[in-house]
Amino acid sequence: MIASLFLTLKLAFITTLILIPICLSLCVWLYGPLTPIKRLVLSFLTLPLVLPPTVLGFYLLIFMSPNGFIGSLVNNIGITSLVFTFKGLVIASIIYSIPFVLQPMYASLSLIDKGFYETSRVLGKSKIFSFYMVLVPMAKYGILTSAVLGFLHTIGEFGVILMIGGNIPGETGVASVYLYDLVESLNYDEAHQLSAILIITSLAFLYVLYSLSRLVSGKKHG
C-alpha cells in the first residue's frame, strides 16, 4: 500500500509540475478573441472531460506502442518503450489531465479586465511580458486551483492508467489500480484503509484550497 501511495504522489507531482507551464503557454495563445482554429484546439484539448477513459486509454495504447506515432518518436531518442512504464504513465496523465488544469486556468485569466493587458501592450510591452507579468499575478488563485485539480485528478486516475501501465509493483502500480486489485481479491479491510487515505488526502487539499479562496476574497473586500 505504501509503495502504491508513494508512486501515486510521485506521478501526480510530476504531472502537475509539467502541466502548469504547458497550460500557461496554451493560455498565452488562446488569450483574446476565440478564432475558429482556437475553438477547434480548445475543443480537442477538452475531449478527455467527456470521453470514456477506456476510449482515451485505448488510443493512447495504440499511439504509445513501439510502432505507434508517439512510440516511434521516442524510439528515435533512445527510449525503447512507453507502455507499461512510469514514463508512459506520465505522458498519459498529462494528456488525460490537460482539461482539468487548462479550463479553470483559462477561465480565471479570461475574467480579468482586459484593460490591464491592453494598457501594458500600449506601453510597448510584448504579448508574453504582458501576459506573464500582468495577468498571471492577478490570476494566481485560479492557477493554484488548476494545480490542485490537476494533482487530485491524477491521484484518482484509473481507466487510462490501467490500460497504459497495467499493475507492475513499484513501476505502474498506483493506488487506484492497487485498490481495484484489493476489491477483486475481496481484501476489503485494506481496501477501506486505502480508500480512507485517499478520501482524507483529497478533502485536505480541497479544504486548504477553499480556505485560500476565502482569504483572497476577504482581502479583496477589505
- Report the distance separating Cα 164 and Cα 12, nearest Å: 16
- Report the distance separating Cα 215 and Cα 218, nearest Å: 5
Q: What is the mean pLDDT of residues 105-126?
A: 86
**Tens digit of pLDDT for each residue in 196-216?**
999 999 999 888 888 876 655
Domain that includes residue 92, residue range: 2-221
**Residues above pLDDT 90, as percent of the chain:** 44
Query: Is pLDDT above 70 for 38?
Result: yes
Burial letters for 176-208: b for 16+ Cβ neighbours within 10 Å, e otherwise? Answer: bbbbeebeeeeeeeebeebeeebeebeeeeeee
Q: DSSP 3-state assignment of 124?
A: coil
Under 8 Å between Cβ of 23 and 146: yes
- Quickly state the pLDDT bin for 113 (edges 50, 70, 90): confident
Distances 118 to 30, 92, 127, 131 between C-alpha atoms, Å: 16, 37, 9, 10
Query: Is pLDDT above 90 for 193?
Result: yes
Average pLDDT, the chain: 87
Q: Which spans in the chain are helix H?
A: 2-30, 36-50, 53-64, 69-75, 86-110, 114-122, 127-130, 136-138, 140-156, 159-165, 175-184, 188-221
The top-scoring range by mean pLDDT among 67-71, 124-128, 178-182, 205-209 is 178-182
Residue 215's pLDDT is 56
- Quickly state the pLDDT bin for 221 (edges 50, 70, 90): very low
Lowest mean pLDDT among 9-13, 44-48, 122-126, 212-216: 212-216
Query: Is pLDDT above 70 for 24?
Result: yes
Q: What is the mean pLDDT of residues 75-84?
A: 78
Radius of gyration of the chain measured on its C-alpha atoms? 20
Residue 117's pLDDT is 83
Query: Is pLDDT above 80 for 220?
Result: no
Q: Is the pTM of this model over 0.85?
A: yes
Cell 531518442 sits on residue: 77
- Number of folded domains that form the chain: 1
Query: Is pLDDT above 60 for 124?
Result: yes
**Tens digit of pLDDT for each residue in 133-181?**
888 888 888 898 899 999 999 998 988 988 898 888 888 889 999 999 9
DSSP 21: H
- Report the distance separating Cα 20 and Cα 203, nearest Å: 22
Q: What is the mean pLDDT of residues 110-130?
A: 85
User: For the domain that residue 35 is a member of, what is the CATH number?
Assistant: 1.10.3720.10
